[in-house]
Chain A
Amino acid sequence: MMLWWQNLPFLSIFLMILSSIVSLSLSFKAARNICVISLGTVLTMSVITFCGVYVSKESFVYKMGHFPAPWGNEIRSGLLEPFLASIFAIIMLLAVLGGMKHIRNDIESKKLNLYFLTTDLLFASILALIYTNDIFTGYVFLEICTITTCGILMIRQIGRTTLAAVRYMIISLLGSGIFLIGITLMYDISGYLLMENMREGIAKAIETDGMTLPTVMSIVLVSLGLSIKCGLFPFHFWMSDTYGYATPSSSAILSGIVSKGYIILLLKIYYRVIGIETVAQSHIQDILFVFGLAGIIVGSVNAIRENDIFRMIAFSSAAQIGYIFVGFSLGTQAGFTAAVFQILSHAVTKPLLFISASMLSDASGGSKKFSDLMGSALRSKIAGIGFTAGALSMVGIPFLSGFVTKILIGTASFESPSKMMPILVVLAISTVLNAVYYLRTVVRIYHPRDLNKKEPKYSNDGYSSSVFSAVIVCFVALNLSIGFFSDFVTDIIRTGLSMLA
């Protein structure tokens, strides 16, 4: 029998789509309030779903329109899905609130409500990617996610953002095309679109014919398509422009949530459609391993060479995506756990860095260059604290989430002797490189321009800074709690992953 809370995942997707449509005819303030209220409601619903699954210890399937499998469309939830949905709802809420001043300044006043229309729809698509049990629904929401992401980029109407949106769109379309042909091949092999049925079909095909070329190709194409979309090396070059020129909320949402949505779909396909044993047989993980490691190094080196704080954080994202794929490439449960932990850790840290950096830049006359940012943390103390906390987490200082990720990836590598040495070496190098560019920035922002003069306090252009301060405090608290309660979080991830299979 279906329990009442099992309706909530569907309702949360529906609510976000509804509030997006309603925002079209509302004023800026009403659209903003609707967005905040719906995100709060989705957070509550996700937490209730999480508690429901946690207590019942069983995943559930929600049949859309009560059509039985394999004809109907389904939503499915274990422990991991509502957990991710809750964290993403918090991050989305904080990212929108933290960047509100820039949203108002960067976007034409007549189009302000459209920003919330796109963010609502974007979050609906992320929720759908997290919960869906149908691969083609996954594809459709993947494209909705791409279009809405493009929307939140291009809404700031300067030449560079439009160009960045076009480049993002082109690279995303290449990824989607490859992904679509990959899932078409999978459908061809299995004859179904629902994840469970596909898995049975693929297992049957492998049992009778072995690992045929089409099976391997479909796995390769799906992995390639999604890794292009989320910006794995060498497809990371669009990131610097896209994150560097968009309004800070958009950069935070894009780096914190959107790229993670694609990775979660890939994770679900590995676990629920192909099966991790089959993935291991296809050797795609060895390819991901090489590109993941290369991404970590190249992203960090690019970040060191940057002179613009936003572009530096953007390149650091490329490195962080590399960590996730290194976790995937191990193919073990420990590896996937580390990867999901990194998804969470990066999702809470990167938006914090973007939002704090935007305030530091405001306190330096809008410049993003390091030379102008000197002493900015003294002018805007709360932004300085936020940036420092984020930077320390990225470097891997104990008690912060980034530290736990590195430990998890390191320990997971012991189970795969052939990959252990390269991982440990790259982890060490990357920690040093991260320390170089993040700590250098922290020192710069705390170093006054003139040692003899006291830095003037930045007043936030007349906007209330209490919301901004609350956002920074929440982000830092979230980061610390993931770091402190890492055992609880990894337990949830482990149980969630075993429910996913």
Chain B
Amino acid sequence: MGLISNYEEVFAVILFGIGFSNLLFNRNLLKKIIGFNIMDSGVYLFLASMGYIDGRMAPIITDGITDAEAYINPVPSGLVLTGIVVSVSVTAMMLALTIRLYRRYNTLNLDEIYMFASRETKK
């Protein structure tokens, strides 16, 4: 029953697993980057669901209510935002590297790139 009541966390872990295995096992660089983004989305869902409290409002003062009991925990949302900034920068970096490798070797497959690069060094 715990799995059903905590469905957000369950989905978060499933997403994390999908993303993680894509990042680790997929040979295509673009799919790896997509995997990384899915993995991070899983973590953000986990964080967001942790801060959410049923029946409460978003942490922005509404109608002059200043009682903390009326709002959800704002910290996890802040962490999600910071995390998104981090993953956007990492994605940009990875994409730049991918473009550079594609221009040089005309492929996105990491094994093929490795093979071409090894041959290049042997020459």
Binding site for B on A (CB under 8 A): 136, 139-140, 143, 146-147, 150-151, 154, 157, 159-160, 162-163, 165-166, 169-170, 173-174, 177-178, 180-181, 184, 187-188, 193
User: B83 — which chain A residues lie within 8 A by C-beta?
Assistant: 180
A interface footprint on B88-123 (CB within 8 Å = 1, 0 otherwise): 011001100110110011000010011011001100
Name the prevailing secondary structure of the A interface residues.
helix
Q: Contact check, B101 vs A140: say whether CB atoms are below 8 A apart.
A: no
Interface membership of B47, Cβ < 8 A: yes
**Residue from A139, A166, A174, A181 within 8 A of B29 (CB atoms):** A166
Q: Which of B46, B79, B93, B101 contacts A136 (CB 8 A)?
A: B79
Knowing A180-B43, A184-B50 touch, does A160 contact B121 (C-beta < 8 A)?
yes
Q: Are A181 and B97 in contact (CB under 8 A)?
A: no
Minimum distance in angstroms from B50 CB to a CB of chain A? 5
CA of A417 to CA of B39, assembled, Å: 42
Check B43 against A184 for contact (C-beta < 8 Å): yes
Docked pose: A170 CA to B98 CA in angstroms? 12
Residues of A within 8 A of B43 (CB): 177, 180-181, 184
> Which partner residue on chain A sits nearest B119 by CB separation?
A159
Given A159-B117, A160-B117, A177 and B20 touching (CB < 8 A)?
A: yes
Residues of B contacting A178 in the complex (Cβ-Cβ under 8 angstroms) = 20
Q: Which residues of A contact B94 (CB under 8 A)?
A: 166, 169
Q: Are B47 and A159 in contact (CB under 8 A)?
A: no
Given contact pairs A136-B82, A187-B79, a sample of 7 additional A-B residue pairs in the complex whose CB atoms are under 8 Å apart: A159-B120, A166-B97, A173-B90, A177-B20, A177-B40, A180-B40, A184-B43
User: Are B20 and A159 neighbours in the complex by a CB distance under 8 Å?
Assistant: no
* Residues of the A chain whose Cβ atoms lie less than 8 Å from the Cβ of B114: 163
Pairs across A and B, CB under 8 Å, 25 listed: A140-B86, A143-B86, A143-B90, A150-B97, A154-B100, A159-B104, A163-B101, A166-B97, A166-B98, A169-B97, A177-B19, A177-B20, A177-B39, A177-B40, A180-B40, A180-B43, A181-B46, A184-B43, A184-B46, A184-B47, A184-B79, A187-B50, A187-B76, A187-B79, A188-B50
Cα A169 to Cα B29 with chains together (Å):
12
- Shortest CB–CB separation between residue A163 and chain B, in angstroms? 5
Tell me the nearest residue of chain B to A154, going by C-beta.
B97
A174-B105 in contact (CB<8A): no
**Known contacts being A169-B93, A181-B43, is A159 close to B82, with CB within 8 Å?**
no
Closest to B76 in A: A187
* A177 cross-chain contacts in B, Cβ below 8 A: 16, 19-20, 23, 36, 39-40, 43
